[in-house]
Chain A
Amino acid sequence: MALENIYDHGILHNTELTQRLLNEYQHNFPVTRTPYADIAKRLGVDEQTILDLLKELDKKNILSRVGPVFRPNRVGVSTLAAMAVPEHKLEKIADIISSYPAVNHNYEREHHFNLWFVVTAENKELLDKTLQDMQLETDIRIMSLPMEKDYHIDLGFPLKLLQGGRSHD
């Protein structure tokens, strides 16, 4: 898989370092007093290099954040919600939904149910209230599909850099 977008952004001064950082620290990030210095030591560079690279990835929107992914429903509750929105209203409705801090992912998908978003809350009562508020504000029914069982959750995935930044196959 390619990181060609990084080349497009022109930020990769050190492709090997970026690849190792992204691949080795989606998991097992050091929970130590000086995590960035510890990573730097492992990768054979200095702390400032790692901090600068992470800031760069953050600025380019490639890095969402450094931190925990909580197990679903262990900390708070969440649900996957879907709406069937008339095409001409989609952008407006999507903006309303995105404006709720309780929403983290909000995507248009190719389907009769064309707006899909994840709503989180501290407890079920607050979650239900948020869904109700959304329905009132948008006048569109929400289909709520809370997770019942998780077989596999985002464990990060392996990223490979293309040599020279482009695939030729």
Chain B
Amino acid sequence: MWIVKHRKIFYSFSAFLLLAAVVSLLVWGLKFGIDFTGGSLLEVAYESNTPTASEVTLALQKVGINNASIRPTGDNGYLVRTPFLSPEDHSRVTDTLTLGNTRTFEEKRFDSIGPSIGSELKTRAIYAIITVLLAITLFIAFAFRKVSNPVSSWKYGLVALVALAHDVIIPTGAFAILGHFLGAEVDTLFVTALLVVLGFSVHDTIVVFDRVRENLRKNQEQNVKEPFEEVVGRSVTQTITRSINTSLTTLFVLLGLYFLGPETIRWFTLTLIIGIIAGTYSSIFLGSPLLVSWKGKEVEKKKN
């Protein structure tokens, strides 16, 4: 099986992506959304004669808001991000954005999250990630409790976790890059997308491992001696179409959402797309080959 045979190439590719992700994270870091930091987000669309971003900045400075981030959105609108605004602050902001009553605009949305809620949501996100990781680990351990020959079941679990880490680190790294260049923010939706990717990816990995398990059992029943590497290779071959097709149908709907869906969930959809591609890659090119590599090491040790 070519995938298992040339696994070093695929490892290198993953390693390269992981390295790039980690470096981007270290260099640029993540840009957190207002649901984690607290703050306000105002989206306006001017009806005509849209002011320039610097005019908007100036107008905001007039009412004492100096550290707003202003991003154009749509043809004639701005997304204004500021520290937490009370309702009174908010009305001062909407007043000043008329530039002395010379412009009219529609207020499309206004989100305001107090610092206490922000830190609570952050804590919740961390708890959710930890709980999902724990639950999935337990789930994998349970799913593979009966396989122990020639690779013990906890190793399936550990390999699956390595694959999961891969699937989470890559989109996160991508968001460091997207955040730096395009202003993508890490918010509760991002975390939700990551957790969905975790569920999806582990499900992909399980299907392959499940097949390895089945083939091992069959060999045992029929007294066939087949090297572990070949069993894994055969299992990957048998499941690769399914893995790719399932990911494809999911990607189809996500692409529809990304290009045609609502603006507010565009980054969320992109996170899912990146994560699901990474997840499919890891379950085919990383998970099962890793099992083989590990087993190989064991055999070498025994020989010594």
- A and B form one complex: no
